[in-house]
Amino acid sequence: MKTFDLKYYLSLKRALIDDRLDKILRENSSGSPRLINAMRYSLMAGGKRLRPVLCIASSEAVGGDAACAIPAACAIELIHTYSLIHDDLPAMDNDEIRRGKPTCHIAFDEATAILSGDALLTIAFEILSEAGINDSSGRLNWLKIIRIISRASGCSGMIEGQMKDISSEGVRLDLKDLESLHFLKTGALIQASVESGALLGNGSFSQIDRLMIYAGNIGLAFQVTDDLLNVEGDAKEMGKATGTDGLKKKNTYPFLVGIEKSKTYALELVNNALQALEDFDNKSDPLRAIASYIIERKR
């Protein structure tokens, strides 16, 4: 049996996503050159594109394709990039390196960084609403997706997770509270990516339920691995500083349970995700491969 080539799959999907993101930037290039340059600087800095790839792969897993999912995939990446710009600010995580380059507020200035993040977030919902306007038969799905992504990225999801992360610095959480924080901060948008793709691929209720289990597990596994990389990762390979969680006294899995137990837990989460896909055919092979990639990655 031929082994699924995840590297090739990711390169194809990333190229597709990058082409569409570049087009989106060009269509929104009539404003301040400094603002547009800052948006492009952060959006096209060479990220993993994990969330938009998951959106596309989930659509394919239920019989859809990349074309139907690409607007939602790009909107999610715009939101993710906005969140990174704001997270890096001095008032938040105060990071100076992102993806091997100076962070947006270092390369430009704090005000430009804030506004470029705001602009990316706003464009994301313009793309989603425009997709709904242009898809007369799928407008209800697009409304559902706008709601899903809004909740995942707002004060019931990612923003609440960041708030919990900041407010809990120096305060020891229990594992249940840490899991809740990680789901909000990282897992919610990953789950929204998978659910959006499955909806656009016209997945059944049963398929979407199983994919949500998959997404919940890989979302948490992703954050556990991030915690481990902050301890054990190579800063040059990761393109950002390591050891920062300990300096800021953040709650992480290695801090609470140790490195080996954290690795074991991440593997358990991936196995749970793979079990959720047992009834899917080979169209879900990209999702299976991504689950393993999440804990094997070096950045």
The DSSP call for residue 116 is H
Tokens of 104: 């947006």
The structure's pTM equals 0.95
Q: What are phi and psi of 45, to 5 degrees?
A: -85, 5
Confidence (pLDDT) at 246 = 83
Confidence (pLDDT) at 2 = 67
Domain ranges of the chain: 6-296
Given the DSSP bridges, would you call strands 101-102 and 97-98 parallel, antiparallel or unpaired?
antiparallel
Per-residue pLDDT tens listing for the chain (299 residues): 568 999 999 999 999 999 999 999 999 999 899 999 999 999 999 889 999 999 999 999 999 999 999 999 999 999 999 999 999 999 999 999 998 899 999 999 999 999 999 999 999 999 999 999 999 999 999 999 999 999 999 999 999 999 999 999 889 999 999 999 999 999 999 999 999 999 999 999 999 999 999 999 999 999 999 999 999 988 877 777 788 888 888 889 999 999 999 999 999 999 999 999 999 999 999 999 999 999 998 87
In order, the DSSP letters of 259-271 are HHHHHHHHHHHHH
Instruction: State the DSSP H helix or E strand holding residue 101, giving kind and residue range, or none if neither.
Output: strand 101-102
Q: For residues 197 and 181, what is the distance between their CA atoms, to the nearest angstrom? A: 24
What is the second-level CATH architecture of the domain 6-296? Orthogonal Bundle (1.10)
Confidence (pLDDT) at 252 = 93
Identify any residues that bridge with 97 across adjacent strands, giving them in sequence order.
102
Contact by Cβ (8 Å): 77, 52? yes
